[in-house]
Amino acid sequence: MRASVPASAFVAAIVGFGGTLALIIAAASAVGADRAQTTSWVAAVCLAMAVETAWLSWRYRMPIVTAWSTPGAALVAASVGFSVEEAIGAFIVAAILLVATGLFGPLTRLISRIPASIASGMLAGIVVTFVMAAARSVQADAALVLPLLAGFFVVRLFSPALSVLLVLVGGALLAWFTGRVPELPALEISTLTWIAPSFSPASVIGLAIPLYLVTMASQNLSGLAVLRASGYQPPAGPLIAVTGGVSLLTAPFGAITTNLAAISAAICTGPDAHPDPDKRWLTGPFYALTYLVFALFGASLVALFAVLPPSLIVLVAGLGLLAPLANALSIAMTDPGDRIAATVAFAVTASGLTLGGIGAAFWGLVAGLIVLALDRMKMRQPKQ
């Protein structure tokens, strides 16, 4: 045991939690969750991550850490017309699909066959609205937002992982000292609230399936890639099945789908965590312990976010998605032959289009795949 082990685990947990908690709360608000349901949402997803990380790290002796689906949270936050009960139903369906994917290898291979350009175009269309909203927050409160933006872009030169956390903490302190926070909330212990799920064709097609796809394409596959890049050989099927199974159990309490972490995993899998790769799995239990603390005091964190200026919450959510947007756009535009199709997927998704009660993410994926199929059919035709 070295001090770097718990330190790396703590930093990974803080970065993952603080950098995207605003997005989780925005997702809960978008589907009409009340204060108790939002608290349960945060507590349940933290419990899921703690259980998954502790078990998988110990079972496979690898630094396997999990996270909530950041693109999935952005998808839910950008959705329109769904109730919290329908969102819970969508989480359950997505979790079942993840379990099936983990148990049946052909499903994993099928998902991996979706062109990365189209999936990335859809993902970029989901998150771009939050990044643009962050830019517009300057107009809402320039005195608060501009110093935070300057600090973010300076700090990210040295530590991209901590830059969003700096905005959150620094923004909260600045808001407090400038009188934008009326009163700090009292310390509260979280409670879990059962939310009865509701299933509808619109929520399954427009929310559950896109949630499953972005979780697999942008989270699980990336998480596996991070582990492999560090020299580990993780068993993909069991890992995905476990995260899906735990997500299924915690979904009725509000927990959004959880998955293998990528950014947080990179902090725990490198030599800075421990020079011996066989010892890095020890970061898992400490990471899990940190999320148990977050689960216990999630109610206080939700209450704190409730009194912070709305412009700060919008800024944190947008900056937290800036790197995923840049990465998604880069992948979407990599292949010249796929660029038009990827751009269509991006544009339709970003438009917020809703047809038949089904949201834009699904139609963006469909539109991109259709355009790509037409382009490839033309390419196969013999030249006259």
Question: What pLDDT was estimated at residue 74?
Answer: 85
Instruction: Tell me which DSSP letter residue 259 carries.
Output: E
- pLDDT 10s digit of each residue in the chain, 384 long? 677 788 778 877 877 787 678 888 889 999 999 989 999 999 999 999 999 999 999 999 999 999 988 888 888 988 888 999 999 999 999 999 999 998 887 776 776 677 878 888 887 887 788 889 889 999 988 999 999 999 999 988 887 767 877 888 888 889 888 888 877 777 788 889 999 999 999 899 989 998 998 888 778 877 887 788 678 888 888 999 999 999 999 999 999 999 998 767 777 877 777 888 888 899 999 999 999 998 998 888 778 877 888 888 888 878 877 877 887 888 889 888 889 999 999 999 888 887 766 667 778 888 998 999 998 887 776 655
Domain count, the chain: 1
Q: Which domain holds residue 149?
A: 4-380
Question: What pLDDT was estimated at residue 19?
Answer: 67
Specify whether the backbone of 254 is left (phi greater than 0), alpha (psi in -120 to 50) or beta.
left
The per-residue DSSP string of 179-220 comes to T----PPPP-------------HHHIIIIIHHHHHHHIIIII
Looking up tokens 């032959």 gives: 337
Pair 253, 44: CB distance under 8 Å? yes
